A = this chain, B = another copy of it.
Amino acid sequence: MSSPQALPPLRLGIAGLGTVGIGTVKIVQRHADLIAARTGRGVEITAVCARDKTKNRDADLSGYAWETDAVALAKRDDIDIFVELMGGHEGAAKDAIEAALATGKDVVTANKALLAHHGHALAVAAEAAGRVIRFEAAVAGGIPVIKTLTEGLAGNAMRRVMGVMNGTCNYILTRMESAGLPYDQVFEEARQLGYLEADPNLDVGGIDAGHKLALLASIAFGTKVAFSDVVLEGIGRISIDDIRRAGDMGYKIKLLGVAQMTGRGLEQRMTPCLVPAGSPLGQLQGGTNMVVLEGDSVGQIVLRGAGAGEGPTASAVMSDVLDIARGTRLTTFGQPAATLKDATPAQVTVAAPYYMRLELLDKPGALAKITAVLGDAGISISRMRQYGHDDTSAPVLIVTHKTTRDAIDFAIEKLPATAVVNGDPVAIRIEEL
């Protein structure tokens, strides 16, 4: 609330001049007046860092000092905020953030992998140094979900946090459905469109989205980031058949992250789930992200927006920068790092309905045998649909009442002995919204 002249400009050092870095440079340049009006002080870039100075980039960088070493940038005494947009969960990014904190800089980063692995240690270091680490851009791109969870819903005990937070996976799944194409073919399309990370398993294996979920869980439940406890399952085994059949039963398949504190510990899952086709999550198309936050007072808040891209991600970076310029000082995960608890990972996931797909052989009493196996596993059936036989087998779709993954696994183990099932049965959790 100071007058625009009261404070000297806030000086940024930006490490990493890829899409997001350049997007950030552009906002600082384009919106200098708007930023000064909103924060009461100027925000300017002093220095930048990337390996190759000669590369053609879509912004005028001539006014900034250039470093080729991120640690050197972080240590410069003419920057106030070290903006880390390099990526990578070890190495230069980590070294540079540590150097920035040690030399008195605040840190703004988009690096979900680094924070998922080292977020707690970095939060401790930041608080010891009296500095802040902000990371809005690390989760769900332009959607201000870190702010919403840390501040907007701070009066709530959070019940559950859910999200579709990898646009590439959602693109693949919705494209498979709309074009009727198999996974491998759409995966290849996505690769050619440049949607996939260099290591595609970061996307389709759920790792990238799992990083994000672990960060949200820490804030929501006051626990130390525990990425290694996230149950990860990618989308590589989702078939076009299941997408179609799930649709027949009124569901969509999403790579859905779910974090909730249960009586038996913290459950963190990033796995394919079925969600009702008519729900906001079910209707999410293409690369868009969605986060669903459930608090004890607020009920359910849904946030939707672009999960990646130059503009949206740079918007999130700048949100953190403007907060700091305005004097907002927050702990990294919403409470002092020393008070974050070790979360016991839940060994048993919360019960849920499951979708099952079996290929039933054309034999007398086949269906009775299947239902008997399910009954023995304690699974009761909510809805079932059998399709006509083609050649030798017929698809059978089952939506169960609430049950456990253990019960489902037990049943799947017993099914081959019935000798009426062709191939591997499919079972996918239905997340209730």
**A110 CA / B151 CA spacing, docked (Å):** 17
Q: Which stretch, A95-103, A253-261, A322-330, A372-380, touches the partner chain B?
A: A322-330
Name A1's contact: one of B1, B278, B296, B329 (CB within 8 Å): B329
A283 at the interface (CB under 8 A from B): yes
Copies in the complex: 2
A interface residue numbers (CB < 8 A to B): 1, 3-4, 23, 27, 31, 34-35, 37-40, 127, 130, 132, 136, 142-144, 147-148, 151-157, 222, 278, 280, 283, 295-306, 309, 311-312, 314-319, 321-323, 326-331, 334-336, 339
Q: Assess the A298–B305 pair: CB atoms within 8 A.
A: yes
- Docked Cα-Cα span, A321 to B38, in Å, equals 21
Distance A139 CA – B319 CA, assembled complex (angstroms): 21
Chain B residues whose CB sits within 8 angstroms of the CB of A147 once the complex forms: 144, 147-148, 151-152
B residues in contact with A151, CB < 8 Å: 144, 147, 151, 319, 322-323, 326, 328
Instruction: Tell me the complex Cα distance, A397–B1, Å.
Output: 53
Q: Which residue, of A298, A301, A330, has the highest number of chain B Cβ atoms within 10 A?
A: A298
Contact of A142 among B301, B316, B321 (CB under 8 A): B301
Closest to A222 in B: B37
In the assembled complex, the Cα of A209 lies from the Cα of B319 at a distance in Å of 27
Residues in B with CB closer than 8 Å to A1 are 127, 130, 132, 329-331, 336
Closest chain-B Cβ to A335's Cβ sits at a distance in Å of: 5
Instruction: Report yes or no: B295 in contact with A280, Cβ–Cβ below 8 A.
Output: no
Q: Which residue of B lies closest to A150 (CB)?
A: B38
Q: Which 8 A-B pairs have the closest CB atoms?
A: A155-B318, A144-B152, A297-B311, A298-B315, A142-B298, A302-B304, A297-B315, A301-B305
